Structure 1
Amino acid sequence: MEPSEQPHRSHWRKRKAVNCGECRRSKLRCDRQHPCGACKRRRREASCSYEISPVAPGSAQNSTAPGSAQAAAVMGDGVEHQDTPRSNGASASLLLSPETIQSPLHTRWETVLERPAPEYDANDTLPFLSIAPRMSVQEILDSLPPRSCCDYLISHFFKNIFALFPILHGPTFQKQYTAFVRQPQDVDLSWLALLFSLCSLALNTMDESDPRLLSLWPPQPSNPIQAPATVLTSRYLLQMAMTCLLQDGFIFRHKFSTFEALLMVIYCLSHNESVDQGWALLGMALNIGIALRCNMDQNLSPIETERRRRCWAGLLTLHTYQGILFRDVDMSYLLNIKAILPTDVNDSDITDEGISESPGRGEPTQMSVMMAKIRLFRLSTQMCRHISGPSRLDQRSLHQWDAAIAEEQKKWDSMYMIDGSPNLLEPTQYAYWCVLQTYAHHLYLLLHRPFHHSRAASFLSTSRERCISSSTALISIHKQIYEAPLLRNYLWLLSGVTSLKALHAAVALNSCLQDESMTVDPRYNLDAFRKEIKSLAFRMKALSDRSRICSKGHQILDHLQTQSGVGNAPMTGTRTQLENLFGDWADIRDWIDIDIINWELEESLN
């Protein structure tokens, strides 16, 4: 038979798979190197292969219509996904066989269109962005606290801090730490950044007189001007965390440990320095979390799935600080990103086999505070959008938001209090209650601000009462954390966002004091309110060596007291400027950055 008369046969050749076999089986993202990065990390270099099983002749004959086969050959075999629904048009049913309709062609397109995995061995396109001086791994390791101190700081973190920001899975972190101790030179720099930031946060919550910390710094005479040794060392450890991230090239190459470390760094900044300092990093963390698909179900093990869900929840709670303190960005777009919340269970309930949920469990878990913060994120985001919109003066909406906040407060009372009193057997629970209450009262202040002053057209006496009660409640919580022995382990909360909320409360209370109608109302003890502001200023000053927020805060409060001292007399010059600036006390950013020293200089020259 002549060649031209031979029956036509489809000649199928083996094509190289897009992802290696290990990544396809484990449903991991493959960087398509040989061996790939995923196999390197899992020490399976020998198993990293891109060979695919030969296609059976029968399958080849029933493959696809012309063009579809060519497209499949171009796209290759990707990560295994569930088939997505396809349209059932008439033309498709004529061209495609049943086998073709069920083939993962759509998922192959999805694989090609996926964000590529980071290439860790690639050269930096913009090396000048690595602004930190290069350090060897050994130099970085030498910057860690001694082993005994690291153990102590980690234990302290998980005992006293973890429940407030539970983005980690404790048993997994302990395994990682044990592996690091055995082979420190093989450490992942991003994970090392997580360790540095964790130690930084833990150290900042402790007293420098603690004998278990003496190996961290040499004995030296106390200097009343210098910040405490714990604060200085904590800041240094946080700088080392950023050094690790920079040397790991986190701007271009990131992995899940990068995401964890970045979130912990931002949390440290929010509670030890200033909330606004973490704003740029928070945007990077959001984009990294999206790139790593931490908001999506990736068919990972229960532990790995929960780790990613916890980090995504932590990311949202960090946005809460920005949303209620600096309301220049509408955070509601985050509510449109679909994500599954973490499970409200303890670490011990999560294993590779599954998650054990106790039905009807009455006791709070390690995740209970985080779940409350997530509800607060949704509530505060929607509420801040409302108070920035045209319906902010609608009284019906005002009552609805009031009721929503009060409902959350009832949940916290039932979970963390005993008959309305602190749980003396579990003092940490009272600390959690105090933290959550600061959110509620801060939201009350934002919500009722347009209605609080008698000169406002929308004035409501109930709103003024709410502003006064929430302001004094916030200042009282600040005082309890500062003075109460039960809350001694949580004094560190006053170095950041909690003091910023108390400062906001003092400015709000002072605004109420400037209302002429209050001076003739016998229900209000104005001197007692001024005394509360004065005591807050004293505490802020005492904490100023530990916190930039407190350093600025006590200066602002000094001005408030001076303003109150002259009563309601007309003010001129810079004092009028100060009064106008504090008039809209919801916009914290406008007055937290004021240059008070220059104002004092101007007044002395006038």
Structure 2
Amino acid sequence: MHSTSSSGDSLPDINSEIPGDDDDCIPLAGGATSREELLAILPPSRYCDALKDVYFRVFSPLFHILHDLTFEAEYQQFCHDPNSVSTAWISLLFIILGIAVTALHDDDPLLSDLGRERTVIRNVKALSSRYRSASLRCLSADGILSRHSINSLQSLILINYARLHRGLPTWTLLGLTHHVATSMGCHVDPERFALGPIEREERRRAWAGLTMLYNTHNNAYGILNPGLATMGTKLPLDVNDVDLLTGTASELSTPRPTQMTYLLLQYRLYNVSSMICESLFSFPPRYTPAQLEVEILSVHEMCEKRYQLEPALEPPPVHHLANLNILYSYIHQLLLLLLRPALCRYLQGDVTTETCAARVKCLASAKTSLTIHQTLHESPQFASYKWYNSNQGSFHAFHAAVILCVMLMYPESAHEAAEIKELLWKSLDVFAALSNRSTFCSKAVPVLRQIIDAACSNTPQYRQPQPQVQPQQQQQQQHIMSPSPVDPSPHPNMTMTMTMTPSMNGGLLTPTTPTGSSGFPHSPMEFFTESLLARLQPQNWLSPSSVPWDGWDCLFLLLSPSPTSAQFVG
């Protein structure tokens, strides 16, 4: 039985009342704004202080392209004398404010003090757009087309990062950023230049961040691009900023996660994601699913090694735990994307050792993805990550929920079906709770509710046990089985264990498949299931913007006694 919070038919259309989210200026625009006019856009100093601190507490550990200590020193100098910094540095400050405002809590007084909109989501959109636009104006005033500096490059990269997370177009600005980075020689390893350790790492971090943004964009749009050309640029060191100041930077002396650990692990996952997309959308594929699964497992093992969540050790800071959950969420997303073809073959009746193994792995990853989504929502320590959980995290969870709904049509056992139903209803509650800040969630709630209703009302189809997974493959599956979410707060139902082994008892079941010479389903439920499987095509699950929202209402009409009984709100 699900809670009443998810029992309504629809949620209000928040898009109808949200101000424009796009930026009203690009660096190519003429009529540069004066320095005084730009400084006048800044909020009062106490708000700048608060937003800066939010950025370096939440976002800097996720996308660590700045040297925090250097920026802090420059910020203090700016507070003492606003004329002591360049216009490019002011641009960097503006984009830091624009990113930080998205992490504010719903009841944070900064939102109501700085914004004049009626709702939280309106204030967040208006403020973030205001500061992004101001950042772009600063770059225009600084002459970005002819003058480049590390601050202007960092600002451009962060503007792209912010726009990407807001679901805004980035391609043109990303191209400009790439050319600025190349003109500065960031595609060449900085060891060739006479630079200090901080300057070298700032360049490497900038190039790594730009490469990640390119990979993210290419994967989201199915662009099979080899990536940015480079001349031996090394990855940034896995060290803390203070080590670069003291000259003690050594990756061998940092057994616990550093400020750079997350970015480096995510960098590897983005590369694996590119490999998966290339294999899914090209023929013949360069990599086999088994090879790509090994790559994912390798990053998973790196996560375990670097974050060391052992009961005997002191837990890492909250931001490291949040980062680890985000890494795990992405790992499960990649597993679901990779194993999709084999899972669909299983659901369509092709029951083999390979497809049975894919079902086991997809079931485990989908369940854990929803649990991570719920943990990030419910744990107070993760409240500052609502911006992630309501967008990218919700995209991963929606992907997992749709897969579980399809599996619910053909469960392995009554116990498995009950477990999936409970998890799905809880997930729907989370989506509903996040809808006040998320356009994605407001669209997902009515769709997910209808899918869950359809899956739960279906009479499960069971068959005799099918061939079992070989012991060696079973051991590999259990090893890659998804780590449990990490919750920093004591909770009787949450553990710090890093593995989740699925039940291997009972037979694996063959779904009911179409019969007859026509090859088409004969009942509305069969047609519904086949249509739902068609929506599991990988191109629909590359990014939040690639999810198809149209046509769900027509799909649900198939299960309604009459057209008027389908109460769907798109």
The answer for the alignment partner of 2:495 in structure 1 is none
Separation (CA, whole Å) in 1 of partners of 2:454 and 2:565: 19
The answer for the alignment partner of 1:535 in structure 2 is 426
The answer for the alignment partner of 2:131 in structure 1 is 237
Q: From 36, 52, 60, give the equivalent of 1:138.
A: 36
Q: Does 1:477 align with 2:372?
A: yes
Instruction: Tell me the amino acid that sits aligned with residue 257 of structure 1.
Output: N
Q: Does 1:312 align with 2:204?
A: no
What TM-score does the superposition give when structure 2 sets the normalisation length? 0.71
Instruction: Tell me the amino acid that sits aligned with residue 455 of structure 2.
Output: S
The answer for the alignment partner of 1:553 in structure 2 is 444
Q: Is the contact made by 2:307 and 2:316 (CA closer than 8 Å) also made in structure 1?
A: no
Q: Does 1:406 align with 2:359?
A: no
The answer for the alignment partner of 1:204 in structure 2 is 102
Instruction: Tell me the amino acid that sits aligned with residue 206 of structure 1.
Output: L
The answer for the alignment partner of 2:275 in structure 1 is 382
Closer, same or farther: CA 130–377 of 1 in aligned 2, 3 Å: closer
Worse overlay, 182-191 or 169-178: 182-191
Q: Does 1:419 align with 2:302?
A: no
Partner SS, residue 339 of structure 1:
coil
Closer, same or farther: CA 576–415 of 1 in aligned 2, 3 Å: closer
Instruction: Tell me the amino acid that sits aligned with residue 430 of structure 2.
Output: R
Q: Is the contact made by 1:332 and 1:382 (CA closer than 8 Å) also made in structure 2?
A: no
Instruction: Tell me the amino acid that sits aligned with residue 347 of structure 1.
Output: D
Q: Is the contact made by 1:200 and 1:234 (CA closer than 8 Å) also made in structure 2?
A: yes
Identity of aligned residues (%): 25
The answer for the alignment partner of 1:461 in structure 2 is 356
Q: Is the contact made by 1:313 and 1:342 (CA closer than 8 Å) also made in structure 2?
A: yes
The answer for the alignment partner of 1:192 in structure 2 is 90
Instruction: Tell me the amino acid that sits aligned with residue 61 of structure 2.
Output: A
Q: Is the contact made by 2:406 and 2:529 (CA closer than 8 Å) also made in structure 1?
A: no
Q: From 329, 333, 338, give the equivalent of 1:442.
A: 333
Q: Is the contact made by 1:507 and 1:582 (CA closer than 8 Å) also made in structure 2?
A: no
1:501-520 → structure 2 map (5 Å cutoff): 501-514=396-409, 518-519=410-411
What TM-score does the superposition give when structure 1 sets the normalisation length? 0.67
Q: What are the superposed Cα offsets for residues 420-461 of structure 1, whole Å, 9 maximum, x if unpaired? A: 799646222211210111121111111111101322657610
Closer, same or farther: CA 456–437 of 1 in aligned 2, 3 Å: same
Closer, same or farther: CA 179–356 of 1 in aligned 2, 3 Å: same
Compute the displacement of 1:556 (Å).
3.6
Matched residues, number: 466
Compute the displacement of 1:164 (Å).
0.9
Compute the displacement of 1:332 (Å).
2.8
Compute the displacement of 1:540 (Å).
2.5
Q: Is the contact made by 2:332 and 2:366 (CA closer than 8 Å) also made in structure 1?
A: yes
The answer for the alignment partner of 1:371 in structure 2 is 264
Closer, same or farther: CA 251–595 of 1 in aligned 2, 3 Å: farther
Separation (CA, whole Å) in 2 of partners of 1:601 and 1:242: 45
Separation (CA, whole Å) in 2 of partners of 1:504 and 1:434: 17
Closer, same or farther: CA 493–128 of 1 in aligned 2, 3 Å: closer
Q: Does 1:291 align with 2:244?
A: no
Which protein, 1 or 2, shows the higher relative CO under an 8 Å CA cutoff with sep ≥ 6? 2
Separation (CA, whole Å) in 2 of partners of 1:422 and 1:446: 34
Worse overlay, 477-486 or 547-556: 547-556
Superposed CA RMSD in Å reads 3.7
1:494-505 → structure 2 map (5 Å cutoff): 494-505=389-400
Compute the displacement of 1:417 (Å).
4.2
Compute the displacement of 1:193 (Å).
2.2
Closer, same or farther: CA 418–281 of 1 in aligned 2, 3 Å: same
Q: Is the contact made by 2:88 and 2:152 (CA closer than 8 Å) also made in structure 1?
A: yes
Instruction: Tell me the amino acid that sits aligned with residue 440 of structure 2.
Output: I
The answer for the alignment partner of 1:490 in structure 2 is 385
Note the residue ranges of structure 2 that are not aligned, 5 or more in a row. 1-24, 460-521, 558-562
The answer for the alignment partner of 1:8 in structure 2 is none
Q: Is the contact made by 1:534 and 1:557 (CA closer than 8 Å) also made in structure 2?
A: no
Closer, same or farther: CA 406–150 of 1 in aligned 2, 3 Å: same
Note the residue ranges of structure 1 that are not aligned, 5 or more in a row. 1-126
Separation (CA, whole Å) in 2 of partners of 1:211 and 1:178: 24
Closer, same or farther: CA 448–282 of 1 in aligned 2, 3 Å: same
Q: What are the superposed Cα offsets for residues 504-531 of structure 1, whole Å, 9 maximum, x if unpaired? A: 22233333334xxx24x21762243244
Instruction: Tell me the amino acid that sits aligned with residue 310 of structure 2.
Output: D
Q: From 156, 163, 167, give the equivalent of 2:54.
A: 156
Q: Is the contact made by 2:103 and 2:386 (CA closer than 8 Å) also made in structure 1?
A: yes
Partner SS, residue 359 of structure 1:
helix
Separation (CA, whole Å) in 1 of partners of 2:298 and 2:64: 24
Closer, same or farther: CA 600–309 of 1 in aligned 2, 3 Å: same
Q: Does 1:261 align with 2:155?
A: yes
Q: Does 1:594 align with 2:531?
A: no
Partner SS, residue 36 of structure 2:
helix
